[in-house]
Amino acid sequence: MLRFSISSLFLLLFILRPGPGAVVGSSAQSSKDSIRYMIIVTGSELLEGIYPDGHTYFLTRTLGSLGLQCVGSVCVDDRMDDLQAAFGFAANKAPLVIVTGGLGPTNSDITREALTEFTGIGLKEDPKVLGELAERLQIAADEMSENLRRQRQVPVRGRYLKNAQGTAVGLIFEGREVTLIALPGPPNELQEMVREELVPYLSRRFGVRAPGCSLTLRFVGIGQSQIAQVLSGYVKPAADIMITSQFQAGRVDFTFALPGDTQEERARLEALKNKIKEQLGEYIYADDKTSLEKYVLGLLEKRGVRLAVAEVGSGGSLMAAISNTEGAQKVLSGAYVAATEKQLCRLLHNDDKGAKDRDEIQTMEQLAAAAAEATGSECALAVGGVQKDQKGAEYVWVALKLPKGRKEYLQVRLHKTGEMSREMLSTQLLDQLRRHLE
């Protein structure tokens, strides 16, 4: 595919670039009332149309409420010359530059190195930052891979932003005239880091006004566009309420914010939440930071039942999602993963004789019952192998053994491929558990 380098687009700007002694970014601040900033979004997947750029929308909506003014957004490839050109362009436009993506563990994640080269500010390994990750992963720091350690390097002159959702910290390179901030690419990591870490930093560094009040509703089992249609058609939030959203693996978060934080404004958001629940209540599982995994585990604990999981088509992704959640040991009594249903039967010591005479539902029922019996659980979920219908669409059969002898069976269609498919399947399975336990 033919692609033009962004370096050529900025060639004229570099020909006209200020010479030695000029103040970089000196023309950026024309207003005493607002801080101007530029956004640089990195990633070849954005330029190739694989994913849309949602970062610019989120950042401008979030930072705009603080009184910051975005004067431009640029999307560039993960290549050193493109990044350097973009940094130079942005630094001549604004005293604050925000870069997203390229902080991961792979060789193509070069944002931190590019920023080091551009600013002349080196990186160092911070023992405190490394220790925090080691404690979170429950491994010794000296046993951590080089790729993970690389994501914990911080500027020798500047600061870092904690990442509660991932392993790469945010980076702040504080130059004399321009501050460059690097944020991780995954939306869930970036958005929480902006709200919890970046906004307080900007308040201290630039004196921006404090953020107003906000409310986040977490949805599952419904698409982002469907929620937007209901909001615009039935709920109709007031024009001064800022709305942002993010979606990942079949889960959607909508955040509603007001510029102030008065009792009246909080009451308005509460009234809005109630109106939304009237229309979409069955799809809402939380109005705080509670994850879907945490919510389902809470329902199991509240009912006093334990869960067993037996997986084929989901490849252990459900077990991984649940077991990595705080409190899982209280309710997850066992998990079994196999490549085929036949292997799963053997793993559970379930007699597979006569399997040819059983249909798929009966097979899944037996697997769920066997998992429950093997672990002494009141609740069990079994996921069959991936199958295809006449049109080639992939699906799995799922069996639920529920308290008081209840049984449920469902056919779940798979979306996308690879790891994304398994993540979305885990979301669908957790949603089914949620609906049957509520």
**What does DSSP assign to residue 357?**
G
> What pLDDT is stored for residue 404 in this prediction?
86
Q: What percent of the chain has pLDDT over 90?
A: 50
pLDDT value at position 297?
Answer: 95
Question: Do the Cβ atoms of 86 and 11 come closer than 8 Å?
Answer: no
Domains contained in the chain, CATH given: 6-206 (3.40.980.10), 214-286 (3.30.70.2860), 299-437 (3.90.950.20)
What CA–CA distance (Å, rounded) separates 175 from 157? 8
pLDDT at 220: 96
The answer to whether 83 and 100 are in contact (CB under 8 A) is: no
Least confident of 40-54, 138-152, 344-358: 344-358
What's the pLDDT tens digit per position in 130-184?
888 777 777 777 777 777 788 888 999 889 999 988 888 999 999 889 999 999 9
Task: For residue 304, count CB atoms less than 10 angstroms from its CB and return exposed for 0-12, middle for 13-18, buried for 19 or more.
Answer: exposed
> CA-based angle 339:341:346, to the nearest 5?
95
Q: What's the pLDDT tens digit per position in 144-154?
A: 777 778 888 89
Report field, pTM of the whole predicted structure over 0.75? no
Q: What is the 3-state secondary structure (H, E, C) of 286-348?
A: ECCCCCHHHHHHHHHHHHCCCEEEEECCCCCHHHHHHHCCCCHHHHEEEEEECCCHHHHHHHC
| Mean pLDDT along residues 100-118 | 91
Comparing CA positions, the residue from 62, 59, 70, 68 lying closest to residue 35 is: 68
Per-residue burial over 147-182, b if 16 or more Cβ lie within 10 Å, else e, is ebbbbbbbbeebbbbebeebbbbbbbbebeebbbbb
pLDDT at residue 135 in the model: 77
| Residue-level pLDDT at 417 | 66
The per-residue pLDDT for range 192-247, each reduced to its tens digit, is 999 999 999 998 888 877 667 889 999 999 999 999 999 999 999 999 998 888 88
pLDDT at 430 over 90: yes
Q: Whole-angstrom Cα distance, residue 405 to residue 134?
A: 43
